[in-house]
Structure formats: structure tokens, C-alpha cells
Structure 1
């Protein structure tokens, strides 16, 4: 079943988004299989007005038009002839992509420039066919997107219904479900019937000879109709739900079919012999040509609609060619009936015919909807095709069917659902589904089922309705008792453990400092007054003044530990802390407690020894540790950028760490003033990672690519670059070339000093080329390498040495 969101909202007030409505329908048992937005992304098709129309100087069948789009006058070449100056039309401007992936471009047609296209309904995807361009109503505002102006933007839901829910094979049926769930009432379509004085019985008669297969047959006579195309709103509605427009009368029957879920059929009354309708079984072997042009051989089990001499329709399935609505039709006999589902199903299956009509009758239509659907269609036909309605409805309904009455026991509801639904709540739910409910006693309800709910036959069906409307998510889930023990820690614990193990393997020692800090930390850390880390969570009863607030950063504790170790002559330090900090942020109602990794390096790069160097640790040692951690965790798209530097770092000796475009930490040498505030003499390098953000980026699995069996070719590039150009800029420049043969780019030399201009640096990189399936030739490598060199020269200002 396909329904339109805009159409649905005509019958029930819905303030849910399409996504929320889709979820609600699915939870009601009406599974939404597809949601499609119609006419989105086409706002560049606007309302425009043709100001001038002149003959193309070089083509007989083309015209050159001056078209006003509300902001400028454009020259448009057009081949259609169904418009004139002054008409408002749909203009697809340059850059528009029409259905079929047709992009509008500036072009010349037979020597005349065209800056857009005037569109037909077919080109806009509104109709399957069109005779010319689309002429719009004169009251539309120039420059307005066409689909906004016409109200045609919509959302389409495709709902997979179970065969027993025939009541939802209509927009009103879905509206009933939505209204019941939201506690609202549906708005029924407006029906206005103006009858003339002469009775319908003067023009037509109805006889049902097989009342067991056709318990009810109703008809109205409408004369003086004019068959023609349907208005745009009707065509749009039918197209939205996957139906093709035929003419105004047939379209009305299809519209009411989708609206009420009740099939109708319009006969050309002048083609009916004696103006009679007789409902009876066919003769064995009888031949009949249906509307699709196929000749069918009928049996004695097939129910037919006949006139005074022959069959004119297969009951509930398809009409016949001998009485169809044509361009010359003026008088109509409009049918609305109810047929036995099993009879329709049997004939439909045997003949291999599946129509919208048979689909509904097979599942069970609403016998009480027969007169409503008939009057609704008659009213619309008079509005769209003119004509007048004869007095009275011919309604043959000899034995009215009674509605089912089902007894519902509250104890049975609780026993099956496992949840107690109060009797008044159960009654309210059933009444919202338009059931008539009477309380027999405190334990029992008597429920009269509406005629359209053919699926409600037993008590268990009513219990299912209570479960649907009460909400499946409100019914507790009871599982068999079992004890399952898993020793696999969750992801965040596995990551924390891995980070600790990595740092220990790199020679670090873990420290655990107090979670409290003194009030003067922001000043000692050079934090600005508006920095969120300058606002603390205060303790009500601190033991000492130095522990009066909760810490907002790990760095002060690590600096105090470093200073204490230095006092004990431990100068070569690698320490880290993986703990929580406590932040007060305006966007949070309560303090948040993010997990943070802080690491500190100071002193010699390697332990003292006769075979070890005496080099001091520097910024790149800290950066290397961070790179190894992020590489081990397979964190993607890592970048180190010298921006948004923390105030406690030394200017020019720090950077911020980003991964997948998100800030995850920082690295840098501690500012001399901060070192002095903590009585530290030697340079200290600190790195910090926000573990909460980092864990979200960790990849536990890695795609493995087999190494190439073919040899590589390497080329070196030595270049002069301004100091402001980073290594990342080099990598980004090369990666934008998208050369699949490049396997690796590595920087192996950096030099500043003698023979290098002031403000510049000398950098050497090595580019490795390789393919997985063959050996590259020297000529291919040289050509590729030249592309790399040209890109470096042209894009980042490199001077090749």
C-alpha cells in the first residue's frame, strides 16, 4: 500500500516527522518498507512568465522567448507551441538536474543562446505523457520553486500490509490507525450531493440474482458529463501513489478507491442495453473482453455484471471494453458494490488478473462504505466533469449484514500479554478503534466490531489490538532464567588496558595523583578567566586548602610529581596518568567527568650508559609516543596542526592533535613560566589525549592487503619551502593527485642554516612507486614523478634543488 503524507494529513492532524511517523506505523504492525521524498532537490525549477515569444530565425518549429524568472529576463529556446506571451510556466534554470539525470546547461540551439528550459509535466516527472509545456495558474508568484507553489512536495510511504488488514488499503484506513494511536479523531471527506428532480429509477435498474456472491449493489445515474483531462491536483495525487491518470471520471473512481479503500466502476450508460444492471454468474464457456483487451473464457463460478443482453464487467475485478468510459461518454452509471471475497479470489486467480479492485475485494471490503464511496465519487465527478445527479441512490441490499460481537475478558488479556491493562484503558483503546464497547461486569467487555475490521473475529484478535495500541515496548519482556558469564571486558576497558601496556612498553611509569587541586591552578597554568577549566567543582568540606576543588586537568598533578622526583635527583622521567577530570560546562546540567590520558617526558632520551647517547628528549619524542599509540589503536586521519595552542605550552613548540576532523588532544613543551611556577628547571614535554573521543575512533579490525610481488621504484625530491609550509601540506598536495601507483611518501631530511635563505627550509622526501600486478617502466615512473614535482611547485610554492 502506497500512501502520501500530505494526503494523510487531510484526514488526521499529524505533527510527527516522516521518520517518526514511519517508526510509529511500523510499531503498529503496518511495516513501512520504503520512504521516498518527492520533488526534493528541484528548487531551481521556478515559476516564470513568458514576456515575449518570437519565431526562431533558423528553425520553423522553434521559438525564442523572453522569460521573466522574477529576478531577471532570460532568453529561452523552446519547441512547444501550446503557450503564448503572458503565460506562467515552469522554468528549469541552468544547473537543474531533471528526472533521468538530465542536466540543464547554457547552450546554443540553431545559433540562438538558451539559458534554461521550459518544462512539461513529463519532463518534471509529474506525468507519464504531456502534450506541451506545463502552463501554471496565473496567481503564482514569479521565482517561487514550482513544486512549493503547487504544493506537490510530499513524502511517500510504502507499507507492507498483512493480508488480513484490508481496512488499511486506503488513506482513511491508515488515518484511522494514526488517529487511534495519537488519541485524535479523523476528518471525513466533504460530500456534497445535489440531486435533480428526476429519479435514478427512470434511467436504470439493478437486479442481483446471486445475492450470496453480491449481498449489496448500489448505483447512481449522472447525466451531461464532459470527459476530459483531470486537474493537476488529481493527477498529482494519483501519480504519488503509483496510479496513471486516464480521464477525469475514471481518475475520480481511482481517487476514491485509494481514499476509502472501496473499489468503484463507471459505465457508459448509453452503452448499457435497456439501461439495466443484472448481477449473476456467467454461462460456462462464455467469452468476454476485459478493459485490457484480452478475451477471457468464463465459467459458471465467475460472477459478472451484465446489462439487458451481455456481460459488461467481471464483478469486482475489471470492466469490459463494451461499456468503458470514452471521450464521447456523456451519461454515466456509477457502481459501488460488495462482493464475496472467496468468489473474487477464485476468479482472479484462475484468469491471472490482479487489479487494485480485486486486491481489496479478495481481502474483504467494508460493506457499509458502499453508499459513502458512491456519493463521494458522484460528488467529485460533478465537480470535475459537470453533469447532474439523478434523485435517489439505487441500493439493493436485501439482507443487511450484522456486525460481529466479541466478548473480551480482562483476565485473559493479562494472562496473554503479561501486563495489566486497566479495564477503563482497554475500553478507551477499543473505542479509539471505533468499536462499540459495553462493560458487562468488572471482568468482561462486550465489543461490537466496526464493519471495516474484517480481521477482528475472536477474543485473541481484540487482545492483539490492545497490545498494538498499548505499545509493544510497554509490554515487559520475560526471558528464561539463565546465568551467562563473560570474561571479555567492554571496549573502553580493553582500550584503556592497551594504552597502559603500550606506555609501559615505551618506558613510562604510571602515577596516581589526587583528584583534588588548589584554587590557584588556573593562574599557575596561565589559563584565561573564561576557560572552562578555570571553573571548578568545589568541595563542601575540604581536608586541606590545597585540596579544596576537583581537578580540571591532569597536568598540575604530573608537574608536581615531576618536581618531587627531581628533588630526589630523578631527572630522566617518563610518567603518565590515565584518570578522570571534573569539568563544569554551561551546556551540561551537572559536571562531566571525561577520561583523560596525560603523559610527561623530561631529561635524557635514553637511560645513562656507556653505550647510550646523551641526547635530551624533545618535542618529537613526545610526538612519537602519541603517534605510536594512535597507530596501535588504528585511529584514522590523524593530523598534528600548530593551531588552537593551549596557553600552558611554549609558543612555537606545540601542536593540537586531530583525528577524523575532531580534536582529540595536544602535545608541546611546557611554557617556561608554568615550569617556574612549579619549580621545574629542565624542559618538560607533555601530551594529552581525550580518551572518550579517542575510543569512538578506535578500529579493532584492520583490512590486510597482500604485498605486491613486483619491484618498487623510488625517486627523491629535495626542495626549498617557506617555514610556514608543514609536512602535512606536502602529503596533502601529493594525495590530491590520486596517483594509485604511489605506495609511500616519506620525509627523510630537514635542514636550515648556511646556504638556505632566511625564512626557508630544505626538505627532502622519497616517493615510492609500485603496482600490484606488474612492473612499472622507467618512463612511467618518470612521468608520474614529474606530476608530483609540478604539483609541489605549483600548489605549495616549492623550489626544486
Structure 2
């Protein structure tokens, strides 16, 4: 935000402080000054001078030696301008003055003659590009008059970095309020009084709010007459210094008040509001409006609009429409001052891809009780500078909660958190200086009423932060980080997490990190039915961070999409994080989970990147990686059960069961989600509870003797009908086989028209081994024949011989 220092000085006395001191004081109080800009030429130490004598230089054919009177004394100056002559009034730069190009004027000697200043051209002063000679000023100008009084002083403008949690500082008065607290000086607010006519505003317009949750307060004033006079020069200049162009006296006043106090206003042409009736409502699905930038915006039912009987007049908190804009012929104005819910404005501005000064403030939070003051301030300025006539009173629909926010601060707690002792009296004084009203106090604590403009303060930690920054961030002690060593402390949970992370990296995965809070739309894209169990933040930083994630899957898909969009279509990623949700009783619960995702050619060798990746291949590779992870962590073997899961492709999702309990889900991301991110290859995701796989990480594994006798391998190729699963086949094999069966491994799957509809060919390798002797072929064949017979009988499969 741009902050002209001259504008700031209207509200607080800062004449005794240098620009750098002002910047340092507020920066060390937590409001960072990112830059200091000097706008316009600087005329310090430059005055109007009268050339009383002008003689030729004895050692030059083009230089002159002049005697210049600056209102106090005569000074000798050597000048090379061809138009230098006695009787001129010219800009005289004294020693120490700084020119527009940064040159500092010093005492000098030109060809043996001393010079104690400089007579300036327009270019040297930064007024124009003219350098043909010295600038000839009005002969009536009195010698000694500062050039700043004639051409205007340069302006110092601060570039202020306002963080999301300090919307109260998105205004000149907001910053002045901070300086008032820092410097312990009074804040001077402008007058907001103005004359009114007997005609009542309630007789001239009506206001109906249909959605009080998104618009808790709407106030309208009517100005039956305004004159289209030019905006005053000082107002135009201040708007330009803040990066806004001057448009019209009515619009300029509304913008000026917004920059001054932080409350966005909007002005409607009163004669173009149908029936003079304002309706604050949600847009109809598919309704459209042509906004002031000339674009036609298509609206949805979640967007709030200001409308009349004929349709939308403005997008609430974002931008007005062309139909009711202020025109050159406008002579009557309806002035809007309203409070809009931050999430609503943020959602609308994001969906329409619009960013305005108004939405920037509303989506961060505007003082809900500022509407009337800002409206009065605008009317006061319009009466003064546009000869406006204001109707008596205002029409207001007010549903604002009247209960004030109260927060208790424990003095000892504040000292412990800050790391230094601050007397209770000092803590109270700091908070009172910031506008917090002391309601009650004891020797140990005090309760404060939070001012309405501090929408970011609602708990004790916020008050502690205020005390710390206003006491001075530079005063915070330098303390080395310390930790407490607890003998016999169990750090195995942390080491188990580290072991899991290392195992996943060894399997070829890369770790990603996402915020725990995200946009509802991100979660709805995967599991819309889970909205009721999500934890919604009461005071979100933005609509894009309004809920806590209840699953790692949506952000994994989003991250995969970002990788694909940036030219990385192959990825194997994992995230270890916490999710939050409401349990069956409505209480907030949390859970640590691990999420894996694979996309593209992940799982193949680098040379095998020409064949198309089939969904089954990607799913089996992720399943194998998960099985390998569980094996490395000594976790129980997992079992997969078919399941229909939101966000996953039908028929390609399974429930993960570990130790008899449901632990997670694995499957192929739904085609709609892949299309959203233009992912052409299969995208497989697995999510599993962390506690289900980390319980045995440090379990001592019993050593087994190395087999002393060779194993015998037999293969089975079978054709299974639709509905027969790999798990059923393995269970049947193990049930029918003797103890000598050591391993069952699936090594081939085939589907084709030659097999018949719904049939699949599977090939398994079975390993037999006896502990105390070498198995004979006849024994192995007998075991194998028994297994094949069991498969035929139990699952009606066809055994392929030969």
C-alpha cells in the first residue's frame, strides 16, 4: 500500500520526525516499510534569487560572474548560461542543495574564480527537459522565496507491506492510529458533519437485504443534487500518489474516503436505480452483469449482488455495473456504504478473476461498524467540493452482531511468551494506546474490549503479540534455543516416522508438503459428500484457506496436476501429514496419514517409456510399492477389498485392511479429476493411516536358518471367470497346499477375445521346500495336483495344461 507522508500528517503530528525515523519506528513495531519513494523534484535549499550584477568571467569567453541576492545576503556565483543577466529572478541552489540528477552543490572554483552555489535550468530542477539556459522566473517573485512554495514540494511516499492479519492498516487513518500508539500522540480525525435538507432519505429510496449473513449491514444515503465540479487539486494529487487516477469529483471522493479510512464505498446514479429500491441478494444462476471495466461477467448463485427491480447494479464488494455508473450528466447520487462477509467477496473475486481495491479490503476484513462514519465523511466532502445537497438521515438494513469481543490477558503469560519482563502497567498502557478498552483488571490479569476495527484479535495470543511488537521488536532479547533432555524419553515415534520417510525415498518417491488448510472446492472435487464432517475455520485468512483438510488425496491430485502442467508428466510422490474431521459426536478429531501417488511412467525403467501405461499396470505398481513399504516397516501384511470410493474410478478402488482393521484406500483417480488437470496417463493414489503401519518399525525380527535343501518350483496357468479375485485364488492355494508350500507368486495376467467375455488368464509360480530333506519330483507333483483340484472345485477355474 502506498502512504504519502504529507497525508499521514493530517491525522498525527509528525513534523519533528525525519522520514527515516518514521519508517524505522513503525517497521520495528511490526508494520514493514518496504520502500521510500520521492515523488516530484526536491527543492530543499533552493530559493528564488535576484541577479543584481552580471559580469564577464576574466578567464573565459562564455562564463559569467554574477552577484545573486537570496533575500538575506549577496552571493558570488559563476554561471555559464547564455541568458544570465542582471535583473533576472532565477532559481538559486545554495551549497548543500541536491539537484534532480542527484548532484550535490558544493563550493567550487571555475578558472580561478570562486562560486558559492548554482543558478539552475528547468532540467536541473527536474521541471522539464529544457537546458538552453537558466530558468527565468516571474519578475514579481520575492527573492528568498523557497521554490517549494512556488512549484510545490516533493512528496515522500512509503510503500507499506500490510500482512493478511492487519486489514485495519489498509488505510491512512489505520497507519496513523499505529503511529499514535507508537509515539503516544493524539489521533486527529476529520470532521464528518454536513448540512441536510428536510427531505428524508427514507422517502427517496428503500433497502432490502435478502442475505444478512453475507451482508450484515447496508447503509444508503441520497444526495438529490450534486454539481460536476473539478476535484480539488490536493485530492487529485493524493489519489495519484496512492496509485489511483482521478476520474470525477463524485467517484474521487468515494475513492478518497476508502483510502483514508479503509471502508469501500460505491456511488450509483440515483435516476438509474429502478424504483429507487436497492435489493442485496444472491445472483440467479447464469445471471450476468456488464461491469465498469466493460466486461460481461456471468454470475452464479453463490455470488452476492446489489440489484434493483430490473437486475444487478453491482457485484457486492467487488465492482459496480455500467448501468448505474456516475455519468457526466448525473445530478443525483445514491451513496452505498456496506459491510460484506470476507469469504463471500473472496470467493466471488476469485471466481470472476477480479481484483479491485474494494475486494482487496473486504476479503481481508473491514471494520463492520465503519459504514456510517465513512458515509458521513463522503457526504461532508461532496457538500464542500461538489455543492451537494444531502437528504436527511440514511436508510439502513442492520443485522450486525452487537456483542463486543472481550479477551483476557494474563500478565505473567505475556512475559513468558515474549521472553522478557514487561510490567503489567506497561502492558495495559500499550493495549489502551491501541484502542483496546480496559474493562476490568486484577494484579494478575486484565480483560479488554476489542475495538471493532481489529477484526484479527480474538484470543490471548493476539494481545501478547500486540504487547510484544509495541514494546519494540528490537527490544526482544537474544536467546539461544534451548531444549530439555528427558532421561529415558521414548523418541521411537519420531524415529519411526523418519524410517517411513527414508523407506519411501528408497522406493523412488519424492516428498511433498501442503498446508493443512485449503479451499472447500479442492476437497469437494474429490469427496463432496464429506462436507458435513469438515472443520471450517472461523476466521480464515482467505476463502482459498477456509477449511482444514480431511484427506491428503485432494492435494496429492492437485500437486500431480501442477507437475503435469509444468512439463513433468511422470511422478512418484508421497506426503506425510495430518488430517482433521468431525467424529460421530461432532467433536474435532485428527489423524496422521501417509499418501502415495504415481503418474505416468513411474515404476518403469528409463528405457521403457514408449508403451502406453495401462491403468492396471499403474495400480499394481503402486500396490507393490505399498506392500514393499509395509515389509520394510515390519507392518502386518495388508489385504485389499473392493470398494466404491468418491474420487476414484469405479472398479479401480480398494479398501486397505491391515491387522483386520480398515486402514486406508487405494485406487485409480477418477477420469473427471484427471481431465481437470489434463493428465493423460493413469493417476493412482493410496492413502493409509500412519499408526497402522508404524507400530512394528523397531520390532526385532527373529532370524531364520538358511534353507539347507533346495526348493522345487511348479507353475499353474488358469482361466478365471468374472468375479474371481487374486485374493480368492491365493487363499484357495494355501488352504489346499501342504506345509511345504513356501511361496505363491503371480507372474502373468492376460485378457483377450480368445478367452471369452469376462475371463482372465493368470499364471502363478508355487515354491515347495521341505525343511529336513530334498523333495522328490513325485511329491511335488502330488502337492501340485491337489492344489489344482482344489482350485477347480472351489472357484470353477479352468486349468491350462501343457
TM-score (norm 1): 0.50
TM-score (norm 2): 0.50
